[in-house]
Amino acid sequence: MTASAAAAPQSLEARAPATTQLFQSSRQRTLLLCLLLTVFVLVSYSPVTGNGFLNYDDDGYITGNPQVQASLTWTTVKWAFTTYDKANWHPLTWLSHALDCELFGLKPAGHLYTNVLLHAANAVLLFLFLQVATGYRWRSLMVAALFALHPINVESVAWASERKNVLSMLFFLLALNAYVWYFHKCYAGNPGLTISNLGRYSAVAFLFALGLLSKPQVITLPFLLLLLDYWPLHRIGSPGVTHQDVASQEAQPGRTQSVSLGWLFLEKLPLLLLSVASVFMTMKAQRAGGAVKTLAQYSVLLRVETCVISYVGYLGKAFWPSHLVALYPHPTQLYPAWQVAAAALALILITALVLVPRARDRRYLAVGWFWFLGSLVPMIGLVQVGTQAMADRYTYIPFIGLFLMVTWLVADWAEAYRFPVRWLAVPSVACLLLLGTLTYRQVGYWHDSESFWLRTLSLTRNNFVAEDILGDFLTSQGRREDAAMHYRAAIDIHPDDIPANLNLADYERDRGNLPAAIGHYQLVVLRAARLNNAAAVNVRTVAYINLGSAYTALGEPAKAKQSFEAALQLAPDAPEALVGLGLLAQKAGDLPEAVRQYSHAMAVQPTDVGYLLLARALQQQGRTDQANAIVERITRLSPDFSKAQKTADSLLAGR
């Protein structure tokens, strides 16, 4: 460590007497800065109170999730720890949503403002962590302010479903603070895991576990702690010191006792085991939900190219945060070779620059850069989950490394050239004001579903997923013609798009265009058969059932029966398929078979229409008393008996 590095905390920041007189004590000044950070976040994100829920996961997480809406009960807790719903395993996030529903019902303002408060808490925790770990107050504040106000973090805050991001970050930052506490208070002078410091280490592990139970994005914590051991804790490659030096650690954070790499890796082993367990549960959940894409969908080469391009894309958005949208579509074809080569060269060049001998006196460069690269690995797409190439929410942790690099480098440059503090403060404040303004505007992008997806489509190309989801929203609003236009646009971009073909098939069937509907259903069956997951099985089941209904309406009972039976091979108790076979049997005069199929369907999923069909079959069999008893019961229990009768008549007539 150079003399200039050792003296760094007493240089630039020591030359700011006017600011340090705001309060008498260091703790009071720190408290003031924490309050300022909180106010900046609350002001920048204030528009969230006028935003609503979106049809982008919010239905699955909140508005259409009965378990979450049941509030915090023991049943909800058990469900949260055992479900793989939404292709994720994050029980604390589910419980957080359940608590919100108990406190705010389905009023979006409460859910969204809780996210804002969590983001504000995260900014404060980041500031406190960096200040204690490095000894620099104003630099730490700048990093925390960049994190708090950068518009790329709006997705993590203004989207109700991303509670998992801000919640896991809370525990992640608490774990970082606990690690520094563990290091400064007991471990720096004693490189052994004694009983006296085991409790502090357990606090780190416990908070890390809570973060993993909120979202597995924090699994890189053990790796990031090794980076912190290199800088600012200087446990790697630092000269030994006395116990008196350790006692004054907070005054001189750059000096500590060097520890062997072997011990540092062993120290992180319990945390690494937690990461491995989280990876296992996450992959199990994502495979069960059909979120993990196969190599047939995205080849290894395409994934590697996308990773390289995405890293550079994230760098661009860090320094020029424009065209921020919710969904950046994953390409289906390889990139131009020059583009991949240029991106790879840029990454290699930056890596070389932070590792050259001259940069070793500025350890923060390597730490910040590898923090950025390493913490993005789980989300960079080597294991492709979902249909996005990039996502703003994935930068919530990684960008801290970039903010740290830039802040420390600018401050060191200012010190080297004896740049006046006030001159450095002016552009810093201007930058933060600009970022806060952009964040304020970006929050409005998340206002409502229709404008949200229209803006996404206007700022992206070939975004068939956005076309699908906008079509779903328009369908829910009864605007089926407009929705069909977007489904067709999605198919034009990606002909094998399963959701668009399935929804367009339903649209054509309801219009009476049965041949077109059958064509789309058949394509869905073929494409979904290539995907070996539970979600694909569900899609094929639905497609076969709807195919059977279309063939029935078209007057082709043999093909209809074949389709219903194919659905039952995938889902033996599918009630719609059972009712479909019952209708075919009843029309063919096979009343015992019709009664058997209807009875099976009603045992699985009782409905007023299904029971009326069963009663009609029993009546035709001459079992009048049983039929009348069913009709009498349904008359009492059906919410709309007249409508149920009309539906049953329509089904029996083949309409």
Size of the chain in residues: 655
Q: Which two tokens stand for residue 117?
A: 């408060």
Average pLDDT rounded to a whole number, residues 110-126:
98
Q: Which two tokens stand for residue 92?
A: 């604390």
pLDDT at 17 over 50: no
Dump the DSSP string for 561-609.
Answer: HHHHHHHHHH-TT-HHHHHHHHHHHHHTT-HHHHHHHHHHHHHHS--HH
- Residue pair 245/252 in contact by the 8 Å Cβ criterion: yes
Residue 458 lies in a domain: no
Percentage above 70 pLDDT, the chain? 91
C-alpha–C-alpha distance, residues 23 and 424, integer Å? 22
Residue 628 lies in a domain: yes
Mean confidence (pLDDT) of the chain:
89
C-alpha–C-alpha distance, residues 265 and 253, integer Å? 22
C-alpha–C-alpha distance, residues 467 and 527, integer Å? 19
Percentage above 90 pLDDT, the chain? 71
**610-632 pLDDT tens trace:** 899 999 999 998 899 998 999 89
- Global pTM reads 0.88
**355-402 pLDDT tens trace:** 988 777 899 999 999 999 999 999 998 887 878 889 999 999 999 999
Range of the domain at 615: 585-655
Residue 512 lies in a domain: no
- Residue pair 65/94 in contact by the 8 Å Cβ criterion: no
Residue 303 lies in a domain: yes
pLDDT at 604 over 50: yes
What sign results for the dihedral spanned by CA atoms 341, 343, 349, 352? negative
Residue 13 lies in a domain: no
**207-256 pLDDT tens trace:** 999 999 999 999 999 999 999 999 999 888 764 433 333 333 333 444 45
Which residues, including other chains, have CB under 8 Å from residue 162's CB and lie 6 or more apart? Answer: 115, 155, 156, 393
**264-301 pLDDT tens trace:** 999 999 999 999 999 999 988 887 777 777 777 788 99
Question: Angle CA(114)–CA(116)–CA(117) in degrees, nearest 5?
Answer: 65
Residue 523 lies in a domain: no
Q: Of 375, 400, 417, at which residue does a domain stop? A: 417
User: What domain count does the chain have?
Assistant: 2
User: What confidence score (pLDDT) does residue 202 get?
Assistant: 93
pLDDT at 189 over 60: no
Residue 62 lies in a domain: yes
- Residue pair 389/331 in contact by the 8 Å Cβ criterion: yes
**517-576 pLDDT tens trace:** 999 999 999 998 887 777 788 999 999 999 999 999 898 999 999 999 999 999 999 999
Q: Of 417, 435, 451, at which residue does a domain stop? A: 417
pLDDT at 19 over 50: no
User: What confidence score (pLDDT) does residue 2 get?
Assistant: 39
**28-71 pLDDT tens trace:** 899 999 999 999 999 999 999 999 999 999 999 999 999 999 98
Q: Which two tokens stand for residue 384?
A: 């492709």
**161-178 pLDDT tens trace:** 999 999 999 999 999 999
Q: How many CB atoms lie within 10 A of CB 542?
A: 22
Residue 141 lies in a domain: yes
Q: Of 417, 439, 469, at which residue does a domain stop? A: 417
